[in-house]
Each structure stands twice: as structure tokens, then as C-alpha cells.
Amino acid sequence: MITGRPPRPTLLVTLSAAACLALAAWQPATGQARGTRLVILGTGTPTADPDRSGPALAIVVGREAYLVDAGPGIVRRASAAAMRGMPALIATNLRRVFITHLHSDHTLGLPDLMFTPWPLGRRTPLDVYGPPGIERMARRIEEAWADDIAVRVNGPEALRQPNYRAVAHEIKAPGQVYDDGTVRVDALAVEHVTPWAFGFRFRTPDRTIVVSGDARPSPSLIEACNKCDVLVHEVYSKEFLAMHRTSTYHTSAHTSTAQVAEIAKKTQPGLLVLYHQLYGPASDADLEREVREAGYAGKVASARDLDVF
């Protein structure tokens, strides 16, 4: 169920350290919904659309946030969501992220996740779960920012705790990769063009949410959803395909609206959320219409940045 669809944002919002501290002290009122929420932080692609930040989303359970992917602008989008009533997404609470694959549009925000919350007061390093290569990426990001680290540690900020660090957990096979007693996360091997690509299934006390990442139609997603509460799936439109008929990349690496409709008919999710949309001249309404015209009669929403489901 869609719990909020704000107007499409045109500005990225940042939080001061004081605002972060104020939000950290925020407590939900008695009776306020505490169930699992899906927060869309970015729906973008490599296209430089200023209204769509890089691909990223958050599963929010109580005061904890479980991020998927780190597209450009992720921390500021999370801060914008925090300002709209999601304190789990203040910068200092961003402590774990699950990376679907190592394409740049899904990882350019990783330095942001590592370094931005550090001087704001994050108390732990960042846990990063991702495919082979994620440990090397995290280590080289630290090397690239070595001068910044030295100044912040040895200069007047005196940030003695190295909470900029990314603790990398490489996923080398599908299966359960995380369990904190509240949320269990399963990695799903999906079919894309990178050597390793994963989707993720999040099982919380009240919802099961499956996220495709970048993928062409993949049997693992069908098996993992199986009447899940929410299926979050990437998609491209008919109009987009018409613009790129001479290229086989998109048909071999991504999923059309008609294919998403077939997946949803097989899996029967409570809600189908389209993200990482390749539009062409199409709109969100066009994508939803194309899915329905392909025979899917269930609930479907083409997500925008900062939508909450």
C-alpha cells in the first residue's frame, strides 16, 4: 500500500549536525505505525535526470534502515526522507547497505555512505554486503580519500574513531547473507551482464520484500517472491525499446513492462513497484498502463524518489 507519494522533488535536502542530533532523539508517538516500510531513495539510471537520484532504496524496520544499492546522492536523499518523518534514515543511522552489482550507477554513492556520516557522528563503520570485488572497491575508496582521512583524524576535528571504514562482506553464492534477529536477508542470483549480480529478499516480522536489482527475467526472483508483500523490479518501456532497437544490450540485460507483467502474474505480489525505469518518452502512468495491458491486474506503482510504500 502506498503510504505517501510526495511531489517530485527538485532539490536535494541536507541535514546539519544539529538537525541530525535532533532527529536522533525523535521518538514515534504511541500508536504510530511501526511496521516495515519501503522507502525509495533513488529511481535513476545512468541518465543524468535531476529529478531522479541514483538507484537506492531502504527497508525501514522501526529505527533501523537496510539500504539496497548506493547510487549518486544517496545520503542527501536519505536525509530528505528523514526530514519527512523517517528518522531511521538520518545520516548517522546509515550503517548497512546491500549492493546488487558493481555497475557505477549503483556504487557511486558508496564513498558518500562511507564518509558523509562520519563527521556527523556515526558510531560504527559501514557494513557493506555485495558481490566479489566489493572489498577491493571499499579499500581503494579509502586509499583515494587518504588525505581527507588524515586531516580529519589529525586536525582540529580529531575524529579518532575510524567510522568511515567499510567492512566488506563478499557474497559468493546465493542464500542467506544477513540475520540480526529481526530482519533476514537472502541473496538471489539474477541474470544481468556483470559477472556477479544479486537481487535481495528481505524478511521482516510483518513483510517480505523482494528487490530485483538490475536483471533480465530471472527464475530466482519468481521463486523468492511467491506471493511476497512487495516486489520491487526494474523495467524498461515500449517507447524506450523503440528508441534502441539496434542494440541488444537492453533486451539481454533488463526487463520490459510485458516481462514484468508476466513475472508478477506468476509471483502474485501484494504490490508491484517499478523502479530504475528506462523510460524513453514514456511516463510513470505509461509504464503502469503497459503492465496492465500486458495482462497484470494486481496493484502496480511506478516509483518516484522519496515514495514510501
Q: Are strands 166-170 and 175-179 parallel, antiparallel or unpaired?
A: unpaired
pTM of the model: 0.88
How many CA atoms are closer than 13 Å to the CA of 37, on its beta-carbon side? Answer: 25
Q: Is the pLDDT of residue 6 over 50?
A: no
pLDDT reading at 29 higher than 90: no
Helix, strand, coil distribution of the chain in percent, nearest 5: 30, 25, 45
> pLDDT of 47-96, one tens digit each?
999 999 999 999 999 999 999 999 999 999 999 999 999 999 999 999 99
Q: Alpha-carbon Rg of the chain, whole angstroms?
A: 19
Quote the distance between the C-alpha of residue 69 and its chain's center: 5
**4-17 burial string, b = 16+ CB within 10 Å, else e?**
eeeeebeeebebee
Domains and CATH numbers, the chain: 34-302 (3.60.15.10)
Tell me the β-bridge partners of 233: 274
Query: Which secondary structure element, helix H or strand E, spans residue 186, and what is its range?
Result: strand 184-189
pLDDT tens digit string along 211-260? 999 999 999 999 999 999 999 999 999 887 767 665 676 666 789 999 99
